[in-house]
Structure 1
């Protein structure tokens, strides 16, 4: 999508999100690209959004959603790798806010897919959204997360998000709930090869990030900390791609 004009982006994303007057300031959000290497090829976890949603209805997406600032105060087994935390905090956000963004990706993956990333052990919190971790004895961990991309929804959308795309491997999942997560945000949750995911009905920015991730995995299959992070946003009349 980099280099597209605003009109071209509106045309592509007009099928993904409701156009119209919306908030001038995008809300923080996070999504998690969970990778499975167990069958000789990389597969990604995706699910289809319900058609009732105003934002990307019917599209295949990664688990994710809006950041809750209180997520930054949840106890963790291990913190973010310093190189990842430093990039998430760019250009001018606090480390606490960066941590909340990362934690929201873990929470949303539990809520939407029933996958709990963490370590088995004692975990207590009164926060309702984290009771699945309490009940299953999983303490969330941030160390496995890798910052893959950032994208800000262009103006002129009913909903706008400043989304951080994070990645982790299926090996980092401590518990997989057979009944899935407690919400119905996603349906038809499945593991797809990258090629299958790129052929699915996915949003334009998801396609762009997947291509970036595929190229990064070719050069760095273990996703070493501190790797390059593409940042997509609209500047003037053009969609830009910078590196963080």
Structure 2
């Protein structure tokens, strides 16, 4: 299998053959008509950015529901796709004030992964998932209280304004997934889950063209089948619901998804 074909196969398995990696902007094609530009696969071997995602789970009489949102149609990358809140880890996610740290088994799985992470970096991953969730959904996870530190990073000022101190103790690690090489954007994402009861405050819901997510929904397992999702998102959902049935807070093996020779490989942490 040629390298270019392996990259295309990996990208299709990850993003799906129907998914456009770019937004609605159109450019003339060879025939002079307007058509969406084709995805650009290139042999980039750059190290993926650390990222984190948070799956909020609401337990209701009808069964568990998960919070998902649709990526704004104006976005250049993966518009219209339903995802969990999340994004890249920022420098200011390290060393922030916490009400409580990670559960011991979650901390162990994060720090003993490959490559090995420091405790501070592991906590930054979990904190980033909470921060991104607040930015994209207006939901602040943590406990009510005043921040003791005087210098608060701007990216965390909304938490201080809501008098919410982030709390990592209720987070479960569901999966880790690394985007294949040769794609426009690469991420090493840790997927966390938390009970919706951990939401301490509800701020203003982001709206308008600058909002990353719209059409936020609490969805049952069956309802997610009707959405436009990335293949990897469906895989993570299956892992999530299996964990819910087994006991989401239990210390269980965590799947690690990555590509080798154009095929997705599933290891365990």
Structure 2: distance between partners of 1:234 and 1:65: 21
Do the aligned partners of residues 56 and 23 (structure 1) sit closer, same or farther apart at CA in structure 2, a change above 3 Å counting? farther
Do the aligned partners of residues 23 and 57 (structure 1) sit closer, same or farther apart at CA in structure 2, a change above 3 Å counting? farther
Partner of 1:99: 123
1:6: Cα distance to partner? 5.5
Q: Indicate which of 36, 41, 45 corresponds to 1:20.
A: 41
1:7: Cα distance to partner? 4.6
Q: Indicate which of 222, 237, 255 corresponds to 1:210.
A: 237
Structure 1: distance between partners of 2:158 and 2:83: 22
Residues 151-174 of structure 1: CA deviation (Å, up to 9, x unaligned): 000012111000100000101110
Q: Indicate which of 171, 175, 180 corresponds to 2:197.
A: 171
1:98: Cα distance to partner? 0.9
Structure 2: distance between partners of 1:173 and 1:52: 29
Q: Indicate which of 130, 133, 154 corresponds to 1:109.
A: 133
Gaps of 5+ in 1: none
Query: Is the 2:10–2:259 Cα contact (8 Å) retained in structure 1?
Result: no
Q: Indicate which of 181, 191, 197 corresponds to 1:155.
A: 181
Structure 1: distance between partners of 2:129 and 2:20: 21
Partner of 1:121: 145
Query: Is the 1:73–1:100 Cα contact (8 Å) retained in structure 2?
Result: yes
1:53: Cα distance to partner? 2.8
Residues 11-48 of structure 1: CA deviation (Å, up to 9, x unaligned): 34251534423462100000000000034311000110
Partner of 1:80: 102
Structure 1: distance between partners of 2:82 and 2:183: 19
1:210: Cα distance to partner? 0.3
Q: State how many pairs are aligned.
A: 237
Structure 1: distance between partners of 2:41 and 2:76: 11
Which of structures 1 and 2 has the larger relative contact order (alpha carbons within 8 angstroms, sep 6+)? 1
- RMSD between superposed Cα atoms in Å: 1.8
1:109: Cα distance to partner? 0.4
Q: Is 1:31 matched up with 2:56? A: no
Higher alpha-carbon Rg: 2
Structure 2: distance between partners of 1:174 and 1:61: 22
Q: Secondary structure at the match of 1:111?
A: helix
1:114: Cα distance to partner? 0.4
Runs of 4+ in 1 over 6 A off after TM superposition: none
Query: Is the 2:7–2:41 Cα contact (8 Å) retained in structure 1?
Result: no
Residues 87-139 of structure 1: CA deviation (Å, up to 9, x unaligned): 11213111111111110000000000000000001125421111111111111
